[in-house]
Structure 1
Amino acid sequence: MKKQRFVSGAVREPAAGMWSNCLRVDDLILISGMTARAQDGESLLGDTAYAQARVVFQKIKDLVEAAGAAMDDVVKMTIFVTDMGTNTEVWKARQEFFSGDFPACSLVEVAALAKPEILLEIEAVAVAGCSAD
Protein backbone atom coordinates (compact mmCIF):
# COMPACT_ATOMS: atom_id res chain seq x y z
CA MET A 1 0.00 0.00 0.00
CA LYS A 2 1.29 3.43 -0.91
CA LYS A 3 -0.01 6.85 0.14
CA GLN A 4 0.34 9.64 -2.44
CA ARG A 5 -0.59 13.30 -2.23
CA PHE A 6 -2.17 14.88 -5.30
CA VAL A 7 -2.58 18.56 -6.09
CA SER A 8 -4.39 20.59 -8.70
CA GLY A 9 -3.35 24.01 -9.93
CA ALA A 10 -7.02 24.98 -9.67
CA VAL A 11 -7.17 24.30 -5.92
CA ARG A 12 -5.15 26.32 -3.41
CA GLU A 13 -2.92 24.15 -1.24
CA PRO A 14 -2.84 24.71 2.52
CA ALA A 15 0.31 25.91 4.26
CA ALA A 16 2.93 23.24 4.84
CA GLY A 17 2.26 21.09 7.87
CA MET A 18 -1.49 21.83 7.99
CA TRP A 19 -3.30 19.07 6.03
CA SER A 20 -3.49 17.48 2.59
CA ASN A 21 -6.33 18.37 0.25
CA CYS A 22 -6.14 15.04 -1.60
CA LEU A 23 -4.58 11.73 -0.65
CA ARG A 24 -4.72 8.47 -2.56
CA VAL A 25 -4.03 5.08 -0.97
CA ASP A 26 -4.22 2.40 -3.64
CA ASP A 27 -7.61 3.09 -5.26
CA LEU A 28 -9.03 5.02 -2.28
CA ILE A 29 -9.04 8.82 -2.69
CA LEU A 30 -9.75 11.11 0.25
CA ILE A 31 -10.63 14.77 -0.31
CA SER A 32 -10.49 17.14 2.67
CA GLY A 33 -13.32 19.57 3.35
CA MET A 34 -13.44 22.06 0.50
CA THR A 35 -14.94 25.54 0.70
CA ALA A 36 -15.50 28.27 -1.88
CA ARG A 37 -12.40 30.22 -0.86
CA ALA A 38 -10.60 31.74 -3.82
CA GLN A 39 -6.94 31.10 -4.68
CA ASP A 40 -5.92 33.99 -2.40
CA GLY A 41 -7.28 32.01 0.57
CA GLU A 42 -9.31 34.96 1.83
CA SER A 43 -12.00 36.03 -0.62
CA LEU A 44 -14.96 33.81 -1.43
CA LEU A 45 -16.35 32.76 -4.78
CA GLY A 46 -20.13 32.99 -4.61
CA ASP A 47 -22.53 34.50 -2.14
CA THR A 48 -25.27 31.85 -2.28
CA ALA A 49 -25.20 28.20 -1.27
CA TYR A 50 -25.74 27.22 -4.92
CA ALA A 51 -22.82 29.33 -6.18
CA GLN A 52 -20.50 28.15 -3.41
CA ALA A 53 -21.53 24.51 -3.94
CA ARG A 54 -20.68 24.76 -7.65
CA VAL A 55 -17.22 26.09 -6.76
CA VAL A 56 -16.69 23.32 -4.21
CA PHE A 57 -17.86 20.52 -6.52
CA GLN A 58 -15.50 21.86 -9.20
CA LYS A 59 -12.61 21.77 -6.72
CA ILE A 60 -13.48 18.18 -5.80
CA LYS A 61 -13.63 17.30 -9.50
CA ASP A 62 -10.22 18.89 -10.11
CA LEU A 63 -8.64 16.98 -7.23
CA VAL A 64 -10.31 13.65 -8.06
CA GLU A 65 -9.13 13.95 -11.66
CA ALA A 66 -5.60 14.92 -10.53
CA ALA A 67 -5.59 11.66 -8.55
CA GLY A 68 -6.52 9.70 -11.69
CA ALA A 69 -10.24 9.18 -11.12
CA ALA A 70 -13.58 10.67 -12.19
CA MET A 71 -16.45 12.34 -10.36
CA ASP A 72 -18.58 9.22 -10.78
CA ASP A 73 -15.90 7.39 -8.75
CA VAL A 74 -16.94 9.47 -5.71
CA VAL A 75 -18.75 7.07 -3.37
CA LYS A 76 -19.31 9.18 -0.23
CA MET A 77 -19.66 12.86 0.61
CA THR A 78 -20.26 14.72 3.82
CA ILE A 79 -21.74 18.17 3.33
CA PHE A 80 -21.68 20.70 6.15
CA VAL A 81 -24.06 23.66 5.79
CA THR A 82 -24.75 26.59 8.08
CA ASP A 83 -28.44 26.64 7.06
CA MET A 84 -30.33 23.41 6.37
CA GLY A 85 -32.81 25.47 4.36
CA THR A 86 -30.23 25.75 1.56
CA ASN A 87 -30.20 22.01 0.89
CA THR A 88 -32.11 22.30 -2.40
CA GLU A 89 -29.47 24.75 -3.68
CA VAL A 90 -26.73 22.26 -2.80
CA TRP A 91 -28.60 19.35 -4.44
CA LYS A 92 -29.14 21.43 -7.60
CA ALA A 93 -25.39 22.07 -7.88
CA ARG A 94 -24.61 18.41 -7.10
CA GLN A 95 -26.77 17.25 -10.02
CA GLU A 96 -24.54 19.23 -12.38
CA PHE A 97 -21.47 17.17 -11.42
CA PHE A 98 -22.73 13.58 -11.05
CA SER A 99 -24.60 11.08 -13.18
CA GLY A 100 -25.74 7.50 -12.67
CA ASP A 101 -25.72 6.37 -9.06
CA PHE A 102 -25.06 9.39 -6.86
CA PRO A 103 -22.63 9.03 -3.94
CA ALA A 104 -23.80 8.12 -0.47
CA CYS A 105 -24.16 11.43 1.33
CA SER A 106 -24.68 13.01 4.72
CA LEU A 107 -25.92 16.58 5.09
CA VAL A 108 -25.13 18.15 8.45
CA GLU A 109 -26.09 21.59 9.72
CA VAL A 110 -23.33 23.24 11.75
CA ALA A 111 -23.34 26.42 13.82
CA ALA A 112 -20.43 27.94 11.90
CA LEU A 113 -17.59 27.25 9.49
CA ALA A 114 -14.15 28.91 9.27
CA LYS A 115 -15.59 32.31 8.26
CA PRO A 116 -19.17 33.61 8.60
CA GLU A 117 -19.56 34.04 4.83
CA ILE A 118 -18.66 30.39 4.15
CA LEU A 119 -22.03 28.69 3.74
CA LEU A 120 -20.88 25.11 3.20
CA GLU A 121 -17.96 22.71 3.24
CA ILE A 122 -17.82 19.35 1.48
CA GLU A 123 -15.49 16.39 1.94
CA ALA A 124 -15.45 13.41 -0.39
CA VAL A 125 -14.24 9.84 -0.71
CA ALA A 126 -13.70 8.17 -4.09
CA VAL A 127 -12.60 4.77 -5.29
CA ALA A 128 -10.66 5.10 -8.55
CA GLY A 129 -12.17 3.08 -11.37
CA CYS A 130 -15.27 1.95 -9.52
CA SER A 131 -17.64 3.67 -11.95
CA ALA A 132 -16.10 2.12 -15.06
CA ASP A 133 -18.22 -0.49 -16.80
Structure 2
Amino acid sequence: MSTIRRIVAPSVTEAKPGLWSNCLAVGSIAYISGLTARGKDFNVIADTDEYEQSRIIFEKMKALVEAAGGRMADIVKLTIFVTNIAEREKVWAARREFFTGDFPCASLVQVAALASPEILVEIEAIAHLGASAG
Protein backbone atom coordinates (compact mmCIF):
# COMPACT_ATOMS: atom_id res chain seq x y z
CA MET A 1 0.00 0.00 0.00
CA SER A 2 1.29 3.47 -0.89
CA THR A 3 1.50 6.22 1.67
CA ILE A 4 0.85 9.90 1.20
CA ARG A 5 4.02 12.00 1.08
CA ARG A 6 4.00 15.77 1.44
CA ILE A 7 6.35 17.33 -1.11
CA VAL A 8 7.96 20.69 -0.42
CA ALA A 9 10.43 22.81 -2.38
CA PRO A 10 12.50 25.62 -0.83
CA SER A 11 11.45 28.08 -3.54
CA VAL A 12 7.72 27.49 -2.99
CA THR A 13 6.13 29.03 0.09
CA GLU A 14 3.89 26.59 1.94
CA ALA A 15 0.52 27.62 3.29
CA LYS A 16 0.05 27.87 7.04
CA PRO A 17 -0.81 24.54 8.68
CA GLY A 18 -4.45 23.59 8.44
CA LEU A 19 -5.08 25.27 5.07
CA TRP A 20 -3.73 23.06 2.25
CA SER A 21 -0.64 21.28 0.92
CA ASN A 22 0.96 22.49 -2.29
CA CYS A 23 1.92 18.98 -3.37
CA LEU A 24 1.09 15.48 -2.17
CA ALA A 25 2.38 12.30 -3.76
CA VAL A 26 0.89 8.83 -3.51
CA GLY A 27 3.12 6.22 -5.07
CA SER A 28 4.24 7.66 -8.38
CA ILE A 29 1.39 10.18 -8.69
CA ALA A 30 1.88 13.80 -7.56
CA TYR A 31 -1.06 16.13 -7.06
CA ILE A 32 -0.21 19.82 -7.20
CA SER A 33 -2.69 22.29 -5.73
CA GLY A 34 -3.82 25.39 -7.53
CA LEU A 35 -0.70 27.57 -7.57
CA THR A 36 -0.74 31.35 -7.94
CA ALA A 37 1.83 34.10 -8.40
CA ARG A 38 2.24 34.81 -4.70
CA GLY A 39 5.74 35.57 -3.49
CA LYS A 40 7.56 34.42 -0.35
CA ASP A 41 5.61 37.00 1.68
CA PHE A 42 2.40 35.37 0.38
CA ASN A 43 1.45 38.59 -1.45
CA VAL A 44 0.81 38.57 -5.18
CA ILE A 45 3.86 39.71 -7.11
CA ALA A 46 2.98 43.26 -8.16
CA ASP A 47 2.35 44.51 -11.69
CA THR A 48 2.15 41.12 -13.38
CA ASP A 49 -0.07 40.07 -16.26
CA GLU A 50 -1.34 36.61 -17.20
CA TYR A 51 1.92 35.70 -18.94
CA GLU A 52 4.13 36.65 -16.01
CA GLN A 53 1.83 35.05 -13.46
CA SER A 54 1.76 31.83 -15.50
CA ARG A 55 5.57 31.77 -15.74
CA ILE A 56 5.86 32.20 -11.97
CA ILE A 57 3.34 29.40 -11.45
CA PHE A 58 5.10 27.03 -13.84
CA GLU A 59 8.43 27.73 -12.08
CA LYS A 60 6.81 26.75 -8.77
CA MET A 61 5.26 23.68 -10.38
CA LYS A 62 8.64 22.65 -11.77
CA ALA A 63 10.26 22.99 -8.35
CA LEU A 64 7.56 20.84 -6.75
CA VAL A 65 7.53 18.10 -9.38
CA GLU A 66 11.34 17.92 -9.27
CA ALA A 67 11.27 17.76 -5.45
CA ALA A 68 8.89 14.80 -5.86
CA GLY A 69 11.45 13.09 -8.12
CA GLY A 70 9.90 13.91 -11.48
CA ARG A 71 10.14 16.30 -14.39
CA MET A 72 7.75 18.66 -16.09
CA ALA A 73 7.26 16.07 -18.84
CA ASP A 74 5.67 13.80 -16.20
CA ILE A 75 2.72 16.20 -15.83
CA VAL A 76 -0.29 14.65 -17.52
CA LYS A 77 -3.10 17.04 -16.53
CA LEU A 78 -3.41 20.79 -15.99
CA THR A 79 -6.46 22.71 -14.88
CA ILE A 80 -6.02 26.41 -15.56
CA PHE A 81 -8.31 29.02 -14.05
CA VAL A 82 -8.26 32.56 -15.46
CA THR A 83 -10.29 35.65 -14.69
CA ASN A 84 -10.19 36.86 -18.32
CA ILE A 85 -10.28 34.14 -20.96
CA ALA A 86 -9.50 36.73 -23.66
CA GLU A 87 -5.92 36.73 -22.29
CA ARG A 88 -5.49 32.95 -22.71
CA GLU A 89 -2.75 33.36 -25.34
CA LYS A 90 -0.50 34.81 -22.62
CA VAL A 91 -1.02 31.69 -20.50
CA TRP A 92 -0.33 29.44 -23.47
CA ALA A 93 2.86 31.37 -24.31
CA ALA A 94 4.19 30.72 -20.82
CA ARG A 95 3.11 27.07 -20.99
CA ARG A 96 5.13 26.57 -24.19
CA GLU A 97 8.26 27.60 -22.28
CA PHE A 98 7.87 24.65 -19.88
CA PHE A 99 6.42 21.85 -22.03
CA THR A 100 7.45 20.28 -25.34
CA GLY A 101 6.33 17.25 -27.31
CA ASP A 102 3.02 15.88 -26.10
CA PHE A 103 1.56 18.61 -23.89
CA PRO A 104 -0.44 17.66 -20.80
CA CYS A 105 -4.18 17.26 -21.08
CA ALA A 106 -5.63 20.60 -20.02
CA SER A 107 -8.78 22.44 -19.12
CA LEU A 108 -8.99 26.23 -19.29
CA VAL A 109 -11.79 27.76 -17.26
CA GLN A 110 -12.81 31.38 -16.79
CA VAL A 111 -13.90 32.16 -13.25
CA ALA A 112 -15.49 35.28 -11.80
CA ALA A 113 -12.71 35.72 -9.26
CA LEU A 114 -9.78 33.97 -7.60
CA ALA A 115 -8.52 34.33 -4.00
CA SER A 116 -7.69 38.03 -4.41
CA PRO A 117 -8.28 40.58 -7.19
CA GLU A 118 -4.57 40.66 -8.16
CA ILE A 119 -4.57 36.93 -8.94
CA LEU A 120 -5.34 36.50 -12.63
CA VAL A 121 -4.30 32.85 -13.05
CA GLU A 122 -4.33 29.70 -10.91
CA ILE A 123 -3.06 26.35 -12.17
CA GLU A 124 -3.25 22.85 -10.68
CA ALA A 125 -1.60 19.68 -12.00
CA ILE A 126 -1.32 15.92 -11.78
CA ALA A 127 1.98 14.21 -12.58
CA HIS A 128 2.86 10.54 -13.01
CA LEU A 129 6.44 10.65 -11.72
CA GLY A 130 8.97 8.90 -13.94
CA ALA A 131 6.42 8.16 -16.67
CA SER A 132 7.85 10.47 -19.36
CA ALA A 133 10.31 9.23 -21.95
CA GLY A 134 13.86 10.40 -21.51
TM-score range for the pair, normalised by the shorter chain length: over 0.9
Partners of 1:96 and 1:5 lie apart in 2 by 27
Partners of 1:45 and 1:55 lie apart in 2 by 12
Q: Which moved more, 1:10-19 or 1:44-53?
A: 44-53
Q: Quick one: percent identity of the two aligned structures?
A: 53
Gaps (5+ residues) in structure 2? none
Report the alpha carbon displacement of residue 45 of structure 1 after superposing the two structures with TM. Answer: 5.2
Aligned to 1:109: 110
Count matched residues.
133
Aligned to 1:8: 9
Report the alpha carbon displacement of residue 62 of structure 1 after superposing the two structures with TM. Answer: 0.4
For residue 36 of structure 1, give the secondary structure of its aligned residue in structure 2.
coil
Report the alpha carbon displacement of residue 46 of structure 1 after superposing the two structures with TM. Answer: 4.9
Question: What does residue range 1-133 of structure 1 map to in structure 2 within 5 Å?
Answer: 1-44=2-45, 46-133=47-134
1:33·1:121 contact (CA, 8 Å) conserved in 2? yes
- TM-score for the superposition, normalised by structure 1: 0.97
4+ aligned runs moved over 2 Å, structure 1: none
Report the alpha carbon displacement of residue 113 of structure 1 after superposing the two structures with TM. Answer: 0.4
Report the alpha carbon displacement of residue 13 of structure 1 after superposing the two structures with TM. Answer: 0.3
Q: Which letter maps to 1:70? A: R
Partners of 2:119 and 2:73 lie apart in 1 by 26
- Give the aligned CA root-mean-square deviation in angstroms: 1.0
Report the alpha carbon displacement of residue 10 of structure 1 after superposing the two structures with TM. Answer: 0.4
For residue 106 of structure 1, give the secondary structure of its aligned residue in structure 2.
strand
Partners of 2:110 and 2:76 lie apart in 1 by 21
Gaps (5+ residues) in structure 1? none
Report the alpha carbon displacement of residue 43 of structure 1 after superposing the two structures with TM. Answer: 3.5
1:81·1:107 contact (CA, 8 Å) conserved in 2? yes
Partners of 2:47 and 2:101 lie apart in 1 by 27
Report the alpha carbon displacement of residue 132 of structure 1 after superposing the two structures with TM. Answer: 2.5
1:46·1:52 contact (CA, 8 Å) conserved in 2? no
Partners of 2:121 and 2:32 lie apart in 1 by 15
